[in-house]
Amino acid sequence: MTMISVTINNKVYGPLEVDPEVKMTDFLHEYVNLTGTKFGCGQGICQACTIIVDNEDGTSDTVRTCITNAMVFNGKKLRTIEGHAKTSKTGEIIALHPVQEAFVNNFSFQCGWCTSGFTNKTVALVEKLKRQPIAKDQVQKIIETELKDHVCRCTGYVKYYKAVKELILSTEGATV
Amino acid sequence: MQKIASLAIIFAISPTVMATTDNELINKGKYLSQLADCYACHTATGGEPYAGGLSFKTPFGVIYSTNITSDKTQGIGDYSFEDFDRAMRHGVAPKGNLYPAMPYTSFDKITQEDMRALYVYFMNTKPSSQANLDNDVMFPANIRLGLKGWNLLNHKPQEFAADNSKSDSWNRGNYILNSFGHCGECHTPRDMTMAMDHSKHYQGAMIGNVWAPDITSQSLIEQGWSSQDIKDLLGTGYSRKGTVVGEMYTAIYHSLSKFDEQDLHASAVYLLDSDEDVPGKPLTFNAQANTGEGYQLYMGYCASCHGIEGEGKPNFAPGLAGNESLAHENSINLLVATLYGIKPQFYSTLVSFDAMPGYDNKLNDEELTNLVNYLKAAFTNSTIRFTVKEMGVLRKEVEGNQENAAH
């Protein structure tokens, strides 16, 4: 057993006693009751379980939680699908995150299993572009590069990619 | 009239008889060309078969493989058997000396009979008019005459001679692996003049950024390889003891996987130096090693794919329990895989392994040391453990090799 503390969506969890064999998806579901992160293939292929790790230098990484165990995240600052929308003091959602809004407007997903992974990856991508803007004609290419590993079995990617493209092009400071 | 009829029959039959004989010879030559893996070097990625153009980065510059199709202008279609034999055995082609990147230092052992089959096959390949590329080699290696000196010094062509004290299978294994297979070109270390050091036959050597491991029978037996493990690895690319990646993957894909059952058996007999079936050793997992930071890092980053007890996942990630690369005293390959990852490997239509991510930016020297020491303690019987300082030195060496890697 090992003790871990993590900050998830600005809330501190722990110290909690965790078995080194516990995967981060199980930790999120079973230990802190955050069930929005989906367990898909269980071997790091489909990316459904992707969450965001915020680094101290202001950059972010995305990590697959089905192949990374909980204790690796000890002391780290994380964001999951539950942390993006604005909520009221009573916990009700009052506004979706622009990425979520774009996916809803474009009917990007159907069953929703891949959505938490797509959302986290896109949030991290848009934030990265705000720090390091790219030319408008490079947007399609960067979407295809960054999101190519995310698997969706319902809508065939077109609506996801369209939503992300629209969002990046309309986000101030993401393109030059 | 009867005579004319008989003659007519003879003429009618002869071409068929000739064709059958030729076809047999061509097929034999084709099989032998697969044993020799000619395709891998003489075909550029996505290029026409045997039309050459694949680049080889050497310490002396870039060498391009040549067109060896039956094309009479750009290929070797105008070679006589003697020309072909001299090029294969002595490294001297009609247009000049070959660089020893062409393994004529191994092909010299091919028998006359087999050389003829190879010749007939190559005279019947589909011609390609693809022009040969000029090598970009620095002085003095660009002086081809110098190769004559190198040959005089290092190459004494000698056709294979069977060892009568050994079995037919052992001799066949010895013959195909040391002539066509040219295993020693990578697995035997080279001396100061870049010639194979035959006193260290198969003892392992650096190839680019990785180590072609020690495949002497002594080492293989000590590491616990069974006859079946050898056949599995050579025949399919994966085995109980691990999988092949990089250049060896290409060798398996184009060549070793084409070995017939008898030649695969002969290879195992020769490599393990045993006519009896070698049972191998059980795979290692020491549960008492499950403690400390190394164990936690393994559980955190590795166990999801390689298994909590190092058992791996079929068709996804190889097992680490008993893994050859972990167990070896030389830990270069272990570090290259851990730091830089492994590309996905497709061994057959039914068997493939997924990509392994690299952990270079996730592990500092201390973490890497703890992880490697855990892997050695948990999954091997090796007593080797690294200090952080030693690991730092090894990591620097691996980083340097990676930057200078040939491919």
pLDDT digits (tens, 9 = 90+) for B75-109: 999 999 999 999 999 998 888 888 888 899 899 99
| Residue A113 CB-density burial (10 A; 0-12 exposed, 13-18 middle, 19+ buried) | middle
CB contact under 8 A, A71 and B301: no
Q: Confirm whether B373 is domain-assigned.
A: yes
Cβ neighbour number for residue B143 with a 10 Å cutoff: 12
* pLDDT, average across residues B3-25: 55
Residue B271: name the closest of B380, B180, B184, B347 by CA: B184
CA atoms of B130 and B136, how far apart (whole Å): 18
Share of chain B above pLDDT 90, in %: 67
CB contact under 8 A, B300 and A69: yes
Do A174 and A130 contact (CB within 8 A), yes or no? yes
Number of residues assigned to chain B:
407
CA atoms of A154 and B51, how far apart (whole Å): 44
Same domain membership, residue B301 and residue B255: no
Specify the DSSP element, H or E, that contains B368.
Answer: helix B365-379
CATH topology of domain A86-170: DNA polymerase; domain 1 (1.10.150)
The answer to ipTM > 0.85 is: no
Q: Does A166 score more than 70 pLDDT?
A: yes
Give residue-wise pLDDT tens across range B165-217: 999 999 999 999 999 999 999 999 988 878 888 899 999 999 888 999 999 99
Q: Confirm whether B57 is domain-assigned.
A: yes
CB contact under 8 A, B308 and A21: yes
Partner A contacted by B206 (CB < 8 A): no
CA atoms of B259 and B5, how far apart (whole Å): 46
Q: Does A70 score more than 90 pLDDT?
A: yes
Q: Does B5 score more than 60 pLDDT?
A: no
Of B104, B122, B154, the residue that ends a domain is: B154
CB contact under 8 A, B305 and A45: no
Partner A contacted by B281 (CB < 8 A): no
Task: Please tell me the predicted confidence (pLDDT) of residue B156.
Answer: 79
The residues spanned by each domain of chain A are: 2-83, 86-170
Instruction: From the options 3.40.640.10, 3.10.20.30, 3.40.50.300, 2.40.50.140, give the CATH code of A2-83.
Output: 3.10.20.30
pLDDT band at A112 (very low <50, low <70, confident <90, very high): very high
> For residue A27, which residues of chain B lie inside 8 Å, CB to CB?
none
Q: Which conformational region is residue A136 in: left (phi greater than 0), alpha (psi within -120 to 50 degrees), or beta?
A: alpha
pLDDT band at B315 (very low <50, low <70, confident <90, very high): confident
Residue B389 CB contacts under 8 Å (≥ 6 apart), including other chains: none
- Averaged pLDDT score across all residues of chain B: 89
CA atoms of B229 and B38, how far apart (whole Å): 26
Q: Which residue has the tokens 């070679």?
A: B79
Closest residue to A68, CB basis, from B295, B301, B313: B301
Same domain membership, residue B122 and residue B25: yes
Question: Can you give the residue range of the structural domain that contains B244?
Answer: 168-272
Please give, rounded to a whole number of angstroms, the shortest distance from the CA of A9 to a CA of chain B. Answer: 22
Task: Please tell me the predicted confidence (pLDDT) of residue B13.
Answer: 45
| Domain count along chain B | 3
Give CA angle at B286 (B284, A16), nearest 5°: 135
Give residue-wise pLDDT tens across range A114-129: 999 999 999 999 999 9
Please give, rounded to a whole number of angstroms, the shortest distance from the CA of B308 to a CA of chain A. Answer: 8
pLDDT band at B141 (very low <50, low <70, confident <90, very high): low
Which residue of A22, A45, A69 is the best one to mutate when testing the B interface, meaning the one whose CB has the most B CBs within 10 A?
A69
Task: Please tell me the predicted confidence (pLDDT) of residue B7.
Answer: 47
Please provide the DSSP assignment of B333-352 as one string: HHHHHHHH-B--EE-SSS-E
Of B243, B272, B301, the residue that ends a domain is: B272
Residue B51 CB contacts under 8 Å (≥ 6 apart), including other chains: B42, B43, B44, B67, B69, B74, B75, B128, B130
pLDDT band at B145 (very low <50, low <70, confident <90, very high): low
CATH number of the domain to which B296 belongs? 1.10.760.10
Residue of higher predicted confidence among B349 and A16: A16
Residue of higher predicted confidence among B1 and B246: B246
